Amino acid sequence: MQIQSATRTTKFTDTSPYCHLASSEDTIELTEWVNFEGVDITLINSLGSNVSSFTYGELDALIALYNYQDSDSDL
């Protein structure tokens, strides 16, 4: 068994400047995977902590869905 050590890049911010429903303690954190193939996104709010993991392709698909303009949709 080989043990390795790595440093992962993490970025975080308060969500209250972006979301009117957030409190001043709510945060979001994005941590890059050690293999550089994706990220973990952690949301921390009054309901607790929620972690979602995405490959960069999945994250691109999520962003594409968010940015998609459909005249029949309210999203």
pLDDT tens digits, one per residue of 15-70: 999 999 999 999 999 999 999 999 999 999 999 999 999 999 999 999 999 999 87
Answer for the pair 52, 62: CB distance below 8 angstroms, yes or no.
Answer: no
Which SS3 state, helix, strand or coil, does residue 28 take?
Answer: strand
Residue 28: the pLDDT is 98
